[in-house]
Amino acid sequence: MTIAARLDAWKSTGAISAAQHEAISALVRRDRLSVFVELNGLLYLGVVVLVGGIGWTITTYSARLGDAAIVSFLTALFAWSIRYAFARGLPYSPGQVEHQVFAFDYVLYLGCLVFALDLGYLQAQFNLFRPGWDQSLLLASAVFAFLAYRFDNRLVLSLALSSLAAWCGVRFSGFGLLRTVSLRTTALAYGGSIAAAGAALHRAGIKRHFLDTYLHVAANVLFVALLSGISETTLYDPYRVGTSLDQSSLYLTALLGLAALAIFAGVRFNRFAFVAYGVVYGYLGISIPVLLQVSSFTALLAYFVISGTIVILALVALARRLGRAA
């Protein structure tokens, strides 16, 4: 029996879905495969490298080039990128917009990164936003959010959300809240607010496809904050700090609850990334207090081998289930 016949038999029995059958059959027939995603990622990486090279050049030769030349060049490049976007972009729509020009998204992303570089240089050299330099982060977040919604770019939206997160951290630190607990509370509040904002905009019908970006950022922020709480409170001496075990249990319970929610929602809505978040972060949350009780290297190695195998098998099983449901 040929491979193609076996694939047809598996499809007829329900062992593989129609989409899986088509994907594997294309490999068997040696059809041409799309590498758009890979090229897209490489081009975005190329933009980041280009801006990194500009930043390195400015840092190395700033004294020779002069402030006026550097600011003029960065501002002109940003202005050209935005002019290009408005000239070539399609009109705004609350739904998804696919721009016809191939280079459009990369030019827009380049402009956003250059704007951040320009803003940072102005603040570093001229203290533009004194005394509250963190306002530059808020300005950058607002500009990125506007451009993301105007030109329908989720990567620019991620820049807006990360800039807003940085502003929240700096703002609360500026009030003297330098303790890890305060920053963790800020992170939890930020993650919850971002998830709620994404859900509200999705319900309002404004760029519904942006919801995944909001939830990716919120999930990682919330999971990392809860992991930080588990690791910090677990390391306390229970004889010196009587509430450390209670705090650690509270953070662990919250993390496992969020992990269960992420796995359920990922399976329900066919989003494997959130399933992976739930499994991996849940595993790390359980591992932190367990490893602190292990003193033997052999036991430590056995734990990682056994638990790691279970986690991998769980991810494979969930991936197959989602693949069949696709």
With bands split at pLDDT 50, 70 and 90, how would you rate the model's confidence at 239?
Answer: very low
Per-residue burial over 100-114, b = 16 or more CB atoms within 10 Å of its CB, e = otherwise:
eeeebbbbbbbbbbb
185-to-179, 180, 189, 221, 292 alpha-carbon distances in Å = 10, 9, 6, 11, 25
pLDDT tens digits for range 87-100: 999 999 999 998 88
Mean confidence (pLDDT) of the chain: 84
Report the pLDDT value the prediction gives residue 152, as an integer from 0 to 100: 95
Q: Which residue has the higher pLDDT, 28 or 266?
A: 266
Report the pLDDT value the prediction gives residue 209, as an integer from 0 to 100.
Answer: 94
Residue 14: which region, alpha, beta or left (left: phi > 0; alpha: psi -120 to 50)? left
Q: Which of 305, 165, 281, 268 is nearest to 228 (CA)?
A: 281
Rounded mean pLDDT, 164-179 = 64
pLDDT of residue 36: 58
Report pLDDT for 32.
Answer: 57
**pLDDT at residue 304, as a whole number:** 86
Token look-up 């451009």 returns 147
pLDDT for 50-78, tens place per residue? 999 999 999 999 889 999 999 999 999 99
Is residue 120 scored above 70 in pLDDT? Answer: yes
The single-letter DSSP state of residue 236 is: S
If you search the block for the tokens 């939830």, which residue do you land on? Answer: 215
CA distance 135 to 121: 14
